[in-house]
Amino acid sequence: MKMTFRWFGPGFDSVKLEQIRQIPGVKGVITTLYDSVPGEAWDAGKVRTLKELAAKNGLEVSGIESVNIHDDIKTGNGRRDEYIENYIKTLEVLGKEDIHMVCYNFMPVFDWTRSDLAKPRHDGSTVLAYDQKMIDAINPADMFGNLDAKSNGFILPGWEPERMARIKELFAAYEGVSEQNLFDNLVYFLKAIMPVCDKYDINMAIHPDDPAWPVFDLPRIITDKEHILKMLNAVPNVHNGITLCTGSLGTNPQNDLPDIIRACKGRIHFAHLRNLWHEAPGKFEEAAHLSADGTFDMYAITKALYETGFDGPIRPDHGRAIWGEVAMPGYGLYDRALGCAYLNGLWEAISKANPR
């Protein structure tokens, strides 16, 4: 595995590359052109600038999170083929810049969803949290405003303000798009991009739906082992893989995370590791990475990754807001750096106890 850290790029992140390079074991950043809009073809010069900034700090760009997918590709309507052409151009740019992992998601309208971005925890920290009862009481059109008000002034990943300004139009575009339609549109997209992924050895790593069930009656297709295997088998190319995100798949306590890891052996191209604490069905909050702080057995998860030969980038995922840090919710420096240290420790112990 390669330990990495998500960084949103100059002007969008309170965390500096100079700080990231000092976290023991971090080799690279996972980044993106944060001001790009879904559907546009990326500019090679801008990607090179990101690489140069990282390299000045002894870091590589280990992958992109995300190259977002235009809604026309997800709905299968409008200008889908044109946007797929642009996506292919972006992948060419990334391949030529020696970047070989792209994380993306296929969630309609909203990326991840939370009911609170700053829920106080027993230890005085604040965390992102989800309560289905609160979500059920929210008008989806108000969702963006609710989250934006608690974003500490940062643009939240996946919640592009220009898309959210068209929220009613977006909901209308998904009317009549069933789970099967969404799945078929994903397969259509994947088949179209596989040739360029083969040419440049780019691993596509779809991010699971978060939470792992339909929200606001919008379909969800990457929610559990069965759906993931269906997707992997529909396009049986090694470049069609997943992001193993414990915090997303683990929103459903029925999901056995080590079992999913073993079932997806060889097709996990990226790992987001974090812990959640489940309070009740449909009600959870994010926790420190440590197993004892939440519901997941982080040792068993890491061991499954090690035993299945996972060698892609890992990053600590959302952290708590601690020590007075003001950052994008979930993406401060301190708790994610603690997460890195913990995950590195788990990996070292597991690998020394189980030499290959």
Q: Does 160 bind ligand DNO (CB under 6 A)?
A: no
Closest residue by beta carbon to ligand DNO: 66
- Active-site residue identified among 72, 209, 293, 317: 317
Instruction: Look up residue 274 and give its amino acid.
Output: R
Residue 87 within binding range of ligand DNO, rule CB under 6 A: no
Q: What's the closest the beta carbon of residue 236 comes to ligand DNO, in angstroms?
A: 22
- Residue 289 among the catalytic residues: no
Is residue 103 part of the contact set for ligand DNO (CB under 6 A)?
Answer: yes
Among 25, 95, 158, 282, binds ligand DNO (CB under 6 A): 158
Residues 316-355 touching ligand DNO, rule: CB under 6 A, are 330
**Count of CA atoms in the C-beta half-sphere (13 A) of 261:** 24
Q: What is the H or E stretch that residue 269 is in? A: strand 268-273
Catalytic position from the list 70, 100, 272, 289: 272
Q: Which stretch binds ligand DNO (CB under 6 A): 97-105, 165-173, 260-268, 273-281?
A: 97-105
- Inter-residue long-range contacts of 166-174, CB under 8 Å, 24+ positions, other chains counted: 167/109, 167/140, 167/141, 167/143, 168/141, 170/71, 170/109, 171/109, 171/140, 171/141, 171/216, 173/71, 173/72, 173/75, 173/77, 173/78, 174/71, 174/74, 174/75, 174/108, 174/109, 174/218
> Active-site residue 245, yes or no?
yes
**Between residue 177 and residue 216, which ones bind ligand DNO under the rule CB under 6 A?**
207
Contact assessment for residue 306 and residue 347, using Cβ atoms and an 8 Å cutoff: yes
- Whether 318 is catalytic is yes
Instruction: In angstroms, give the least distance from the CB of 270 to ligand DNO.
Output: 10
Q: How far apart are the first and last CA of the chain?
A: 14
Are 315 and 272 in contact by the 8 Å Cβ rule? The answer is: yes
Task: Taking the CA atoms of 128, 129, 132 and 135 in sequence, report the sign of the dihedral they define.
Answer: negative
Question: Closest approach of Cβ 105 to ligand DNO, in Å?
Answer: 4
Task: Tell me the C-alpha to C-alpha distance, in Å, between residue 268 and each of 179, 203, 244, 292.
Answer: 23, 9, 6, 26
CB of 214 to ligand DNO, least distance (A): 16
Q: Is 171 exposed, middle or buried (0-12, 13-18, 19+ CB in 10 A)?
A: middle
Rounded least distance, CB 6 to ligand DNO, Å: 8
Q: Is residue 317 among the annotated active site residues?
A: yes
Residue choice 8, 9, 65, 127 for contact with ligand DNO (CB under 6 A): 65
Binding footprint of ligand DNO, residue count (CB under 6 A): 11
Min CB(103)–ligand DNO separation in Å: 5
Contact 303, 349 (CB under 8 A): no
Stretch that binds ligand DNO, among 17-25, 93-101, 102-110, 340-348 (CB under 6 A): 102-110
Q: Which residues of this chain interact with ligand DNO, rule CB under 6 A? A: 65-66, 103-105, 111-112, 157-158, 207, 330
Catalytic residues: 207, 245, 272, 317-318, 331
